[in-house]
């Protein structure tokens, strides 16, 4: 029986691109014979008149896809954790809804999850984001080096994979300011983290939904965890 990969995608005002993102994931998995896939779509209370929620309901007619519709906004990190309890995979992958993460790169991450490595972060050759978001990301990662002991060379990204042991640990994780990476390296030790270099793609449509307010919230959440 092929290992199951649970892909958890927090969704926010994603009606314009989510169908293509999910379709690409399903297509990529159909071209290989090593893994099965489970996709978990978590609508983080999108303020778009129910468009994202309605699309997730339609996509969830596929037995490989499960939708979760949150009644309140939890932020990206909080929304990710809502998908953890129903993830059934031997591996779990977290990625964005906008197509900037290439699902083919999942197959570069999974082989690294062995031995002491329980968490693999994608590291981007170049970050295809607005200058404010890039600067905020760099500032956050620099501060995390001092507040959590994160290795300076490691960049925390929203595209990462974990193994079954880490997924089991996350199912008991509770925090008002969740930070998956810090929790796992405190659980398994600093040596549990691996990295893989990948390409960060352009957004499929529109602009990022990350406002200055959201960037500050993410900054506070990571550093308060």
Q: What local confidence, expressed as pLDDT, does residue 146 receive?
A: 62
Decide if 223 contacts 144 (C-beta within 8 A): yes
Round to whole Å and give the CA distance between 37 and 187. Answer: 27
Helix axis angle for 212-224 and 75-83, nearest 10°, is 60
Checking if the pLDDT of 54 tops 90, the result is: yes
CA–CA dist 57, 223 (Å, integer): 34
Average pLDDT for 191-197: 94
Distances 22 to 28, 37, 169, 177, 195 between C-alpha atoms, Å: 10, 11, 27, 28, 24
Ordered by where they begin, the domains of the chain are 4-224 (3.90.550.10)
Whether the per-residue pLDDT at 48 is higher than 90: the answer is yes
Could you give the strand order of the β-sheet that contains 160-163, starting from the edge strand earlier in sequence? Answer: 65-69, 36-43, 4-11, 91-94, 160-163, 119-124, 193-198
Determine the Cα angle at 68 with ends 32 and 29, to 5°: 5
CB under 8 Å to 211, separation ≥6 — which residues?
none
As a residue count, the chain comes to 225
Task: Give the torsion through C-alpha atoms of 190, 195, 201, 204, to 10 deg.
Answer: -50
Q: How far out from the chain centre does Cα 39 lie?
A: 12
Q: How far is CA 32 from the centre of its chain?
A: 22
- Whether the pLDDT of residue 26 is over 70: the answer is yes
Question: In this predicted structure, which of 57-66, 87-96, 114-123, 208-217 has the lowest mean pLDDT?
Answer: 208-217
Q: Tell me, what's the pLDDT at 208?
A: 55
Residue 57 CB: number of other CB atoms within 10 A? 14
Consecutive H or E run containing 12: none
Summarize pLDDT for 87-142 with one digit per residue, the tens. Answer: 999 999 999 999 999 999 999 999 999 999 999 999 998 765 555 666 666 676 66
The mean per-residue pLDDT over the stretch 141-156 comes to 71
């Amino acid at each position: 029986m092929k290992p199951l990969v649970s892909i958890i995608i927090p969704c926010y005002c994603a009606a314009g691109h989510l169908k293509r993102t999910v379709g690409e994931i399903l297509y990529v998995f159909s071209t290989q014979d090593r893994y099965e896939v489970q996709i978990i779509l978590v609508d983080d209370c999108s303020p778009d008149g129910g468009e994202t929620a309605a699309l997730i309901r339609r996509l969830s007619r596929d037995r490989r896809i499960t939708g979760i519709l949150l009644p309140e906004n939890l932020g990206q990190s909080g929304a990710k954790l809502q998908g953890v309890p129903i993830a059934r995979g031997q591996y779990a992958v977290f990625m964005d809804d906008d197509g900037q993460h290439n699902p083919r790169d999942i197959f570069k991450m999974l082989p690294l999850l062995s031995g002491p490595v329980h968490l693999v972060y994608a590291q981007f050759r170049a970050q295809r984001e607005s200058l404010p978001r890039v600067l905020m990301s760099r500032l956050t990662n620099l501060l995390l080096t001092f507040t959590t002991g994160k290795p300076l060379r490691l960049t925390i990204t929203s595209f990462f994979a974990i193994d079954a042991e880490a997924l089991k640990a996350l199912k008991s994780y509770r925090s008002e300011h969740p930070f998956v990476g810090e929790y796992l390296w405190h659980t398994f030790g600093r040596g549990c983290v691996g990295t893989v270099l990948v390409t960060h793609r352009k957004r499929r449509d529109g602009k990022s939904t990350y406002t200055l307010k959201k960037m500050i919230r993410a900054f506070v959440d990571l550093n308060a965890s």
